[in-house]
Amino acid sequence: MSDKEQLPDSQLFTVRVWLEGEVDGQPQWRGKLRHVPSGEIRHFRGWAALIPLMLDMLRRYPGQNFTGYNKESRDEK
């Protein structure tokens, strides 16, 4: 595969968030994180929980685009 044809090492996520009221005057955010290529869905409470979930998914799906290619197979072509 030539340099122009190489696929980027990227992942696609969707994030849905909603407000579930307040506790001690602070908004309570909930959310749903979806890793689009795999379809995996994880739920979270509070913004601080979002990044660790995303990082966990990125570690488990490194360099994959789920169309039959991964980092190693692209390097072989």
Question: What pLDDT is stored for residue 55 in this prediction?
Answer: 92
Question: What pLDDT is stored for residue 6 in this prediction?
Answer: 52
Q: How many domains is the chain built from?
A: 1
CA dist 25 → 21, 22, 47 (Å): 9, 5, 16
Is 13 within 8 Å of 33 (Cβ atoms)? yes
Residue 53's domain comprises 11-66
Note whether residue 73 is domain-resident. Answer: no
pTM: 0.68
Note whether residue 37 is domain-resident. Answer: yes
The amino acid occupying position 58 is L
Note whether residue 45 is domain-resident. Answer: yes
Lay out the sheet containing 26-35: strands in order across: 13-23, 26-35, 40-45
Is the model more confident about 39 or about 71? 39
69 vs 75: CA distance, rounded Å: 10
The predicted-structure confidence for 1-33, as pLDDT tens digits, reads as follows 455 555 557 889 999 999 999 989 999 999 999
Question: What pLDDT is stored for residue 33 in this prediction?
Answer: 98
